[in-house]
């Protein structure tokens, strides 16, 4: 039965490229029409062309491969683990913590010293959607800082603060609890620039002790132990699909 399902499975060529992480589905339409893609050695310019799992798909000289069933897992990343599939310095990576899931790749990155929720998938189309700046997918972090953010600082973060490299960092302060000389601050970001929160606090000259991500879009880390992972539930997958549909309608 499983073999027959595999033989009968078909996928549009533009979706195939998107799931392989080449580009979004709309961008893949343009790439295919530009005669960049072959199927079994034949140039295909129709984005709706139906691809079988046994077909050889080559884009720009690179053979592509996708899994039949898209998979998404969440991991509670510990400190010191690199968010990449491989590391030339042989440091521990997120995939080292997910045995048997070597076809997955992380959606975005958390730096080495940041802990918490990281999503991994074999679905390049989903990854492109979640990472694209225009979709403004919220990420929620909890950090521990020295002192307390003043109302002036909070207003400045909401408007945007220059963080170097020609970029501005922007976030919303959702909560702030202060005990003695330290504060626990919950922040929401939608841009996801490289090391954005660390650069924000550096620009404010505020010492940052810890940084932990607890939510990505509708997906919450919950009580998943540090260093452990699990597949997303049916409801969680559905929430991502609803998010994609809603964002698509807004663009239209």
DSSP structural state of residue 78: P
Asked whether the beta carbons of 219 and 239 are under 8 A apart, the reply is: yes
Report helix, strand or coil for 17. helix
Give me the residue label for tokens 């050889």: 56
Two tokens at 189?
């970001």
Q: How many CB atoms lie within 10 A of CB 3?
A: 7
DSSP structural state of residue 69: S
Handedness of CA 31, 61, 69, 94 (dihedral sign): negative
> Whole-angstrom Cα distance, residue 136 to residue 157?
16
Q: How many CB atoms lie within 10 A of CB 37?
A: 26
Q: Considering only CA atoms, which of 121, 20, 125, 127 is closest in space to residue 72?
A: 121
Residues marked as catalytic:
111
């Amino acid at each position: 039965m499983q073999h027959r399902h595999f033989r009968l499975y078909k996928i549009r060529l533009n979706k195939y490229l998107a799931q392989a992480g080449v580009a979004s589905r709309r961008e893949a339409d343009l790439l295919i029409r530009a005669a960049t893609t072959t199927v079994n050695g034949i140039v295909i310019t129709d984005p709706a062309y139906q691809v079988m799992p046994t077909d050889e798909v080559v884009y720009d000289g690179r053979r592509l491969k996708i899994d039949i069933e898209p998979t998404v897992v969440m991991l509670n990343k510990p400190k010191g683990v690199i968010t990449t599939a491989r590391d030339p310095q042989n440091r521990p990576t997120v995939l080292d913590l997910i045995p048997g899931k070597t076809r997955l790749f992380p959606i975005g990155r958390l730096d080495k010293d940041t802990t918490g929720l990281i999503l991994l998938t074999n679905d390049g189309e989903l990854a492109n959607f979640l990472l694209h700046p225009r979709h403004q997918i919220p990420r929620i972090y909890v950090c521990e800082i020295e002192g307390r953010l003043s109302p002036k600082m909070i207003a400045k973060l909401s408007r945007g603060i220059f963080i170097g490299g020609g970029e501005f960092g922007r976030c919303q302060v959702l909560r702030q609890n202060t005990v003695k000389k330290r504060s626990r601050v919950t922040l929401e970001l939608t841009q996801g620039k490289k090391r954005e929160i660390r650069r924000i606090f550096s620009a404010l000259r505020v010492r940052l002790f810890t940084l932990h991500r607890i939510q990505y879009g509708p997906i919450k880390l919950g009580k998943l132990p540090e260093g452990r992972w699990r597949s997303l539930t049916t409801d969680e997958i559905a929430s991502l699909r609803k998010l994609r549909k809603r964002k698509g309608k807004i663009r239209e």
